Amino acid sequence: MKILVAVLGIRVCLLFPILFLFSCSSPNKKSTANQTEMKENIHKVDTVTINLMKFNPEVLDVTKGDTVIWINKGLVAHTVKSYQPDKFYSDTLQPGQMWKWVMTDSAAYYCTIHPVTMIGKLLLK
Ligand SMILES: [Cu+2]
């Protein structure tokens, strides 16, 4: 009888580490999958400040799916319009207002109110 109990005890002792290994390996796989999923779903938010009659930065590197927010911190109204027709065109941004666009492609743009001096570029990486 004592031998039987000892054998059972050894089996139980061996069983727990095996169960522990299985329980640990499963979440690790899930975690790796989640991290990959998160990387695909995370997009940056970039800001272009409009001030002193300029877009700052004038040239911005972006990744497809990134959101670009233009914030008018100047004293007068501005717009954000792509040179390429029908790509994007903000409403008039009064001082303090902002406008955003989700990037799908590279684009050069300008302010329709100050087209000579206010020019910017978004370069898709
Ligand atoms: Cu302007």
- Note the pLDDT tens digit of each residue in 34-92: 555 555 568 899 999 999 999 999 999 999 999 999 999 999 999 999 999 989 999 99
In the predicted model, is pLDDT for residue 19 greater than 50?
A: no
Q: 67 is in which domain, residue-wise? A: 45-124
Distance from Cα 114 to the centre of ligand 1, integer Å: 4
pLDDT band at 24 (very low <50, low <70, confident <90, very high): very low
113 and 95 part of one domain: yes
36 and 53 part of one domain: no
88 and 115 part of one domain: yes
Residues 99, 48: Cα–Cα separation, whole Å: 10
Distance from Cα 64 to the centre of ligand 1, integer Å: 26
Contacts of 60 (CB under 8 A, 6+ apart): 46, 48, 68, 120, 121, 122, 123
17 and 55 part of one domain: no
26 and 83 part of one domain: no
Contacts of 50 (CB under 8 A, 6+ apart): 56, 70, 71, 72, 73, 74, 78, 93, 111, 118
**DSSP one-letter code for 93:** B
Distance from Cα 77 to the centre of ligand 1, integer Å: 6
Distance from Cα 25 to the centre of ligand 1, integer Å: 57
Number of domains in the chain: 2
73 and 112 part of one domain: yes
